[in-house]
C-alpha cells in the first residue's frame, strides 16, 4: 500500500531505457512510459513526491496478478480474482515472445462476463489502463509463440488514475487504449443560424463535396458510377433504339443462365502480336448474386473468338489494356455469349479503346440512386434535327418502364439533375432509349450518373 508521509521503499525501480528517473517525475514515467524495465533493484521514493492527501492510500500493487515467472511453450499465467476499493487498474507487461493478454472482470469472482484481449508483441512494452469499478479483476497471459519465454515482467497496480498518454512519435496499434467520445458538430449558416452537421451511413460528414469524396474512394460503402454511350446512326424506321454503339435494342440484358463470353475483333490486327489492340479487360457481374463488378483480362486473337475463363451474367464495359504500334483497336471489338451468340454485351468501336454503351445493372444487395442523366444529338450531315428519348428501368422479373421522358435537338441537349433522385433496386437494368428521330442519320450520346450504396 502506498501512503503519504515518510519514505516508501519498493523492490520495483521506476525506470525506463534511459535509466532511473529523478523523484520529481518518477510518477509520470511510472504510468505513462515503461512501468518497469529493470526489476528487483531497490529504490527509495520520498512519499512527499507521491500523489495523495493525508494518509489516504492512492495505489496498490497487485500480488495475485503480478508475475516475473517466464512461461514455457503454450504456457498460461492465470491471475487471482481480486476485489478492492480502487476504481482503476493499470497492467504493464513485457516479454521476449509473442502472446496474448486477457483482462477480465467479474461481479462475483467466479463468472468472468467481461473480457478484453490484447496482442503481445515480443520485446514491446504492453500497457493498459482500465476502469474496473468495484468489480473483481484478473489478468491472463498466454505464450502463443511456439518458443519458451526467457523473461516475463508483468505488474498490475490498482488506484485512481487518469488516462494514459503517449508521445506523438509512438506507433499506435489497433488494441492501444483509446477514449471513445460522442460528439455533435454544429455549423453556422449564411443566415446566422446554427445547424447540426450530418453524417452518412459510412460515418463520413455530409459536405458539398460528398460525390467527389465518393469518387476518390474516401467514403466507405458508397460508389459512384459514370456510364456513357453512343449510337452513331439512328433512322426514322429503326426506332426505338438504345444508346450503344451496336445500334438497335440493347441485347446485353439476358435472363438466361450466365455463360462464358467470346471476345473477338473485326480486324486481324487486334491480336497478341498485332499492330492493334492486344489485350482487353471486360467488366461485369458474374452471377445474379454478385455484389461487386468484377473483371477478366482477355488476350485477343484477331477475328477468332477467345472464350473467357469465367461465366458472366452481365458485361457492361470493355477497355483496351495494351496495343501495338497503332495504340488503339483497329477493328470493332465485340463481347457476346459463347452459346447464345445473339446476346451481345458490348462493342468497342474502332479507335475508341473503350465500349460506348449507356446501360447498367445494379449489383445484387446494392441500391442505386440516379443522380444525373444527359443526352445530346446531332445529324450526321450537319443539318438540324430533333429526337425524343426516355430513361428505361426494368426491375427483376419486370419490363422496361419509362421513368423519364425528354426531347432534344441539335442545338439543345437534355441534362437532368433531379432534386428527388430515382431509386434503383438491386439487379435493376437501366438504359437510355431513343423513341423517335426527325431524320435519318441521327447520332445520339448519353450519360448516366449513379450512386451505389
Which of 317, 336, 356 is at the close of a domain?
356
Task: Check whether residue 158 and residue 261 sit in a common domain.
Answer: no
Please say whether the beta carbons of 242 and 446 come within 8 A.
no
Query: Residue 102: which CATH number?
Result: 2.60.120.380
Residue with cell 426506332: 239
Examine the domain organization and report whether 58 and 88 are in the same domain: yes
User: Do residues 259 and 212 both lie within one domain?
Assistant: no
Is there a single domain that holds both residue 15 and residue 96? Answer: yes
Structure-block grid coordinates of residue 281: 479487360
Q: Which of 304, 336, 356 is the last residue of a domain?
A: 356
Read off the C-alpha cell for 123: 520485446
Number of structural domains the chain divides into:
3
* 319 and 452 together in one domain: no
Q: Give the chain's residues under pLDDT 50.
A: 1-57
- Contact between 442 and 231 under an 8 Å Cβ cutoff? The reply is no
For residues 120 and 101, give the distance between their C-alpha atoms in angstroms, rounded to a whole number.
Answer: 7
Task: Flag whether 174 is in a domain.
Answer: no
Distance, CA of 245 to CA of 433 (rounded, Å) = 13
What residue numbers bound the domain in which 428 lies? 197-250+357-453
Residue 327 zone, left/alpha/beta (φ > 0; ψ -120 to 50; rest): left
Residues 17 and 155 reside in one and the same domain:
yes
* 349 and 425 housed in the same domain: no
Do 323 and 386 belong together in one domain?
Answer: no
- Report pLDDT for 50: 37
* Angle of CA points 271, 276, 280, to nearest 5°: 65
Q: Do residues 387 and 340 share a domain?
A: no
Can you give the three-state secondary structure of the chain, one letter per residue? CECCCCEEEECCCCEECCEECCCCCHHHHHHHCCCCCCCCCCEEEEHHHCCCCCCCCCEEECCCCCECCCCCCCCEEECCCECCCCCEEEEEEEECCCEEEEEEEECCCCCCCEEEEEEECCCCCEEEEEECCCCEEEEEEEECCCCCCCCEEEEEEEECCCCCCCCCCCCCCCCCCCCCCCCCCEEECCCCCEEECCECCCCCECCCCHHHHHHCCCCCCCEEEEEEEEEEEECHHHCCEECECCCCCCCCCCCCCCEEEEEEECCCCCECCCCCEEEEEEEEECCCCCCCCEEEEEECECCCCEEEEEEECEEEEEEEEEECCCCCCCCCEEEEECCCCCCEEEEECCCCCECCECEEECCCCCCEEEEEEEEEEEECCCCCCEEEEEEEEECCCCCCEEEEEEEEECCECEEECCCCCEEECCCCEEEEEEEEECCCCEEEEEEEEEEEC
Q: pLDDT tens digits for 126-148?
A: 999 999 887 899 999 999 999 99
**Which string of b and e fits 343-370 if b means at least 16 CB within 10 Å?**
bbbbbbbbbbbbbbbbbbbbbbebebbb
Residue 184 domain flag? no
245 & 255 share domain:
no
In a domain, 282, yes or no: yes
- Tell me whether residue 67 is in a domain: yes
Predicted confidence at residue 118, as pLDDT, reads 95
Mark which of 356, 382, 401 sits at the end of a domain.
356
pTM reported for the whole predicted model? 0.59
Q: Does one domain contain both 335 and 373?
A: no
Residue 179: inside a domain: no
pLDDT at position 134: 77
Sign of CA dihedral 35, 40, 46, 52: positive
pLDDT of the residue at 172? 76
Q: Verify that 319 and 370 share a domain, yes or no.
A: no
Asked whether the bond before 240 is cis by omega within 30 degrees of 0, the reply is: yes
In-domain check, residue 69: yes
Residue 32: predicted pLDDT: 35
Tell me the longest C-alpha to C-alpha distance in the chain: 105
Amino acid at each position: 500500500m502506498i501512503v503519504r508521509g515518510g519514505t516508501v521503499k519498493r523492490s520495483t525501480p521506476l525506470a525506463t531505457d534511459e535509466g532511473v528517473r529523478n523523484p520529481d517525475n518518477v510518477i509520470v514515467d511510472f504510468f505513462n512510459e515503461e512501468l518497469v524495465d529493470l526489476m528487483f533493484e531497490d529504490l527509495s521514493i520520498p512519499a512527499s513526491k507521491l500523489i495523495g492527501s493525508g494518509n489516504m492510500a492512492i495505489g496498490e500493487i497487485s500480488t495475485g496478478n503480478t508475475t516475473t515467472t517466464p512461461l514455457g511453450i503454450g504456457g498460461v499465467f492465470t491471475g487471482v480474482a481480486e476485489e478492492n476499493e480502487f476504481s482503476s487498474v493499470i497492467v504493464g507487461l513485457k516479454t521476449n515472445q509473442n502472446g496474448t493478454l486477457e483482462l477480465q472482470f467479474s461481479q462475483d469472482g467466479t463468472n468472468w462476463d467481461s473480457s478484453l484481449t490484447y496482442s503481445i508483441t515480443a520485446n514491446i512494452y504492453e500497457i493498459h489502463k482500465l476502469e474496473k469499478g468495484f468489480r473483481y479483476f484478473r489478468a491472463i497471459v498466454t505464450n502463443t509463440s511456439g518458443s519458451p519465454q526467457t523473461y516475463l515482467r508483468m505488474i498490475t497496480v490498482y488506484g485512481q488514475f487518469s488516462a494514459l498518454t503517449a508521445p506523438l512519435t509512438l506507433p499506435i496499434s489497433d488494441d492501444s487504449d483509446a477514449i471513445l467520445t460522442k460528439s455533435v458538430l454544429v455549423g453556422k449558416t449564411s443566415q446566422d443560424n446554427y445547424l447540426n452537421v450530418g453524417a452518412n451511413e459510412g460515418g463520413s460528414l455530409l459536405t458539398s463535396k460528398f460525390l467527389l469524396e465518393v469518387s476518390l474512394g474516401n467514403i466507405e460503402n458508397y460508389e459512384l458510377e459514370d456510364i456513357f454511350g453512343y449510337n452513331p446512326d439512328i433512322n426514322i424506321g429503326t426506332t426505338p433504339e438504345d444508346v450503344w454503339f451496336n445500334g438497335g435494342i440493347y441485347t446485353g440484358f439476358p435472363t438466361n443462365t450466365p455463360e462464358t463470353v467470346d471476345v473477338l475483333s473485326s480486324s486481324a490486327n487486334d491480336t497478341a502480336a498485332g499492330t492493334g489492340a492486344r489485350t482487353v479487360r471486360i467488366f461485369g457481374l458474374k452471377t445474379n448474386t454478385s455484389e461487386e463488378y468484377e473483371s477478366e483480362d482477355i488476350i485477343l486473337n484477331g477475328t477468332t473468338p477467345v472464350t473467357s475463363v469465367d461465366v458472366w451474367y452481365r458485361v457492361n464495359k470493355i477497355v483496351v489494356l495494351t496495343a501495338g504500334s497503332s495504340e488503339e483497336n483497329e477493328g470493332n471489338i465485340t463481347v457476346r455469349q459463347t452459346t447464345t451468340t445473339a446476346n451481345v454485351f458490348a462493342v468497342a468501336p474502332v479507335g475508341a479503346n473503350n465500349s460506348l454503351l449507356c446501360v447498367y445493372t445494379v449489383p445484387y444487395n446494392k441500391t442505386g440512386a440516379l443522380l444525373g442523366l444527359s443526352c445530346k444529338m446531332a445529324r450526321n450531315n450537319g443539318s438540324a434535327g430533333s429526337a425524343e428519348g426516355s430513361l428505361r428501368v426494368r426491375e427483376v422479373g419486370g419490363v422496361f418502364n419509362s421513368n423519364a421522358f425528354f426531347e432534344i435537338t441539335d442545338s439543345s441537349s437534355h441534362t437532368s439533375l433531379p432534386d428527388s433522385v430515382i431509386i434503383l433496386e438491386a439487379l435493376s437494368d437501366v438504359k437510355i432509349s431513343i423513341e423517335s428521330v426527325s431524320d435519318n442519320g441521327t447520332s445520339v450520346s448519353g450519360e448516366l450518373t449513379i450512386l451505389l450504396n
